Amino acid sequence: MRDNASSSNSGNRRDFLRGSGVAAATAVFTQTAQVGMDEAAAEALAAQGVAVQSGSMKITLQVNGQSMVSEVEPRSTLLDVLRHRLDVTGPKRVCDRSSCGACTILLNGQSIYSCTTLAVAAQGKEIRTLESFDTGPKSVAHAFHQNDGLMCGYCTPGFVTACQALLEKNPNPTLEEVKKGLDGNICRCGTYVGVVQAALDAAKAIKV
Amino acid sequence: MKAFEYVGATSVDQAVKALTPGSSAMAGGTDLMNRMKDYVTSPDRVVYLNDVKELAGISGDPTSGVTILAGTRLADILASESIKKSYSALWQTTSDVGTPQIRNMASVGGNLMQHPRCWYYRSGFGLLPKSADGKHMLREGDNRYASIFMTDGDALYAHPSSLAIPLIALGAKATLIGPEGERTIDVADLYKIPVSNTDTLFTAKPGEILKSISLPASTGKNGSFEARHKQAHDWPLVMASASLTFTGDTVSDARVAVYGVAPLPWRSKAAEEAIKGKPVTVETARAAAAAAAEGAKPLTMNAYKVAMLKTVITRTLCVTVGNRYWEA
């Protein structure tokens, strides 16, 4: 019944979804897969204060200090919402399996893979992407430039973000700590020597 | 990824109520998200646990025991000085899991409840993958990372949880919470061998989630050592943890667990018996490691794990008493 919003007994369900902050657009229910439980179970859960969300929903994300509103589904990844809905294209989609690091962002100050995070779960948290980072002479980005820390450049946003996260936690990393701190990112061009030196140089420059 | 309903739980009570049949609990998502993307697991509902504040944190003291709530991120374990000092087997293993990003996302509970990394399973052929003519895909196929113990059965994948190994060596208990309340079991008893491709890997009852892990008081010495292909972002090939108590220089009690060699976290009673009553030297450790390898039945492509098991157990026992002889 959920794929047919004109069905006479879909009212409770839709009212409940509205109540839990979901945009209950008719088109949404015709487009999304049928999932989950029956109406009675949904109402029983709602009565116990458990909000179940499905279909299309409006969320607000705090991205680089700005509130951004987007229409998403529960299954939308944070990376796809940032890139395709909000036009925040610094984080890159490469492996989409939490293996390569190109999608790295900072969530509440912690480096994470945005490809493996649900957008809906990022509500209420501080999202920082490299668009917000300093690019001046004392920045991580500048150190990458000075050290030839890139070749094709596709991994670079992820590396710069991981490097920023490392230096915010540990302003004086040793070579070993830099290697361990950046081991969640892959560069298929093999620019690791430049990347590691950039991290060490950026640490020095930021302190001056 | 198939569409699902989403419940952003803010309390354990909400989470347990929302976990109806067909639901999956998700914490960091580093395992479940990838299984959903690959259509290996397609839940009707995802219950998100990472915002449940009462599920995160470390409390207690190594002199009386430490409790780690299941939602605690791996990065928070690494930040705990008392775990680093008194439960170094756990600290070291945690430090080797995944990458900084994964350790910022992944929870202790999610690490313990992850699914095997077997490529046949991850490609949709099930935990006990058989081809159309009835042949076991892992036994007949590429089994380089599979088990070397319990290989007479059909579960040939290697158990995936790194953290289960030090926790079992340390004698940790797991507390589950579900519709019928709480119960506490040994960490090793979280797991079972599935009897079919639709069976579960876990002993948790429907609707139960992992609530906490309790480490007993630290009374002896413990340590871990792992062998892997590369230092950055890799899984252990073979990893072991040991927890030893001493009378003078002599081992009075020992618990040794091994990763990567069986479809369950492998407790090596043979190694434990062999090291008991002896001081830990490279020689006694090698003898214990040789005992541990007895009975191994590798598959066609993973006999290297038998040799690796011996080296890893030898080094684990030596690390536990602070002897890194191979670096000398």
pLDDT means per 10 residues, chain B with 328 residues, are 96 95 96 98 97 96 97 98 97 97 98 97 97 96 98 98 98 97 98 96 96 97 96 94 98 98 98 98 98 98 98 98 95
**Structure confidence at residue A55 as a pLDDT band (50, 70, 90):** very high
B79 touches chain A (CB under 8 A): no
Rounded CA-CA distance B209/A8 in Å is 37
Beta-carbon separation of B3 and A120 below 8 A: no
Beta-carbon separation of B101 and A54 below 8 A: no
Answer yes or no: is pLDDT of A31 > 90. no
Nearest CA in chain A to B96: A180
Nearest CA in chain B to A105: B101
Can you give the pLDDT at residue A21? 41
- Report how many domains make up chain B: 2
Q: What is the CATH number of the domain that holds B6?
A: 3.30.43.10
Can you give the pLDDT at residue A7? 41
Residue A2 Cα, gap to closest chain B Cα (Å): 12
**Structure confidence at residue A46 as a pLDDT band (50, 70, 90):** confident
**Structure confidence at residue A38 as a pLDDT band (50, 70, 90):** low
Confirm whether B117 is domain-assigned: no
Confirm whether B39 is domain-assigned: yes
Beta-carbon separation of A35 and B2 below 8 A: yes
Nearest CA in chain B to A50: B14
B48 touches chain A (CB under 8 A): yes
Least confident window among A35-44, A136-145, B160-169, B279-288: A35-44
Q: Which residues in A lie closer than 8 A to residue B33 (C-beta atoms)?
A: 77, 98, 116-118
> How many beta-carbon pairs under 8 angstroms link A with B?
127
Confirm whether B107 is domain-assigned: no
Can you give the pLDDT at residue A207? 82
Can you give the pLDDT at residue B231? 87
Give tens-digit pLDDT for B227-250: 999 888 999 999 999 999 999 999
Which member of A32, A49, A117 has the closest CB to residue B29?
A: A117
Can you give the pLDDT at residue A2? 41
Can you give the pLDDT at residue A13? 46
Note the Cα B90 to chain centre separation in Å.
Answer: 11
Least confident window among A14-18, A37-41, B78-82, B293-297: A14-18
Beta-carbon separation of A181 and B101 below 8 A: no
Q: What is the 3-class SS of chain B, one letter each residue?
A: CCCCEEEECCCHHHHHHHCCCCEEEECCCCCHHHHHHCCCCCCCEEEECCCCHHHCCEEEECCCEEEEECCCEHHHHHCCHHHHHHCHHHHHHHHCCCCHHHHHHCEHHHHHCCCCCCHHHHHHHCCCCECCCCCEHHHHCCCCCCCCCCCCCCCCCCCCCCCHHHHHHCCCEEEEEECCEEEEEEHHHHECCCCCCCCCCECCCCCCEEEEEEECCCCCEEEEEEECCCCCCCCCCEEEEEEEEEECCEEEEEEEEEECCCCCCEECHHHHHHHCCCECCHHHHHHHHHHHHCCCCCCCCCCHHHHHHHHHHHHHHHHHCCCCHHHC
Rounded CA-CA distance A164/A132 in Å is 11
Can you give the pLDDT at residue A44? 76
Ranges of each domain in chain A? 8-47, 58-129, 133-207
Confirm whether B28 is domain-assigned: yes
Beta-carbon separation of B20 and A41 below 8 A: yes
Conformation bin of residue A14: beta by default, left when phi > 0, alpha when psi is -120 to 50: alpha
Can you give the pLDDT at residue B328? 85
Residue A207 Cα, gap to closest chain B Cα (Å): 23
Can you give the pLDDT at residue B298? 98
* A99, A100, A116: best to mutate for the B interface, most B CBs within 10 A: A116
**Structure confidence at residue A37 as a pLDDT band (50, 70, 90):** low
Can you give the pLDDT at residue A4? 40
Fold of A133-207: DNA polymerase; domain 1 (1.10.150)
Confirm whether B22 is domain-assigned: yes
Can you give the pLDDT at residue B262? 98
Can you give the pLDDT at residue A48? 79
The H or E element containing residue A167 is helix A156-169
pTM of the predicted protein model:
0.91
Q: Which residues in A lie closer than 8 A to residue B92 (C-beta atoms)?
A: none
* B99, B103, B107: best to mutate for the A interface, most A CBs within 10 A: B99
Residue A9 Cα, gap to closest chain B Cα (Å): 20
Nearest CA in chain A to B5: A54
* B101, B123, B229, B231: best to mutate for the A interface, most A CBs within 10 A: B101
According to CATH, the superfamily of the domain at A58-129 is Beta-grasp domain (3.10.20.30)
Among chain A, residues having any CB pair with chain B shorter than 8 Å are 32-33, 35-37, 41, 45, 48-54, 73-75, 77, 96-99, 101, 104, 107, 110-113, 116-118, 120-121, 162, 165-166, 179-186
Range of the domain at B49: 1-54
Residue B8 Cα, gap to closest chain A Cα (Å): 7
Confirm whether B211 is domain-assigned: no
A 10 A CB-CB count for A169 gives 16
Summarize the confidence of residues A6-17 as an average pLDDT: 44
Q: What is the CATH number of the domain that holds B248?
A: 3.30.390.50
Can you give the pLDDT at residue A36? 52
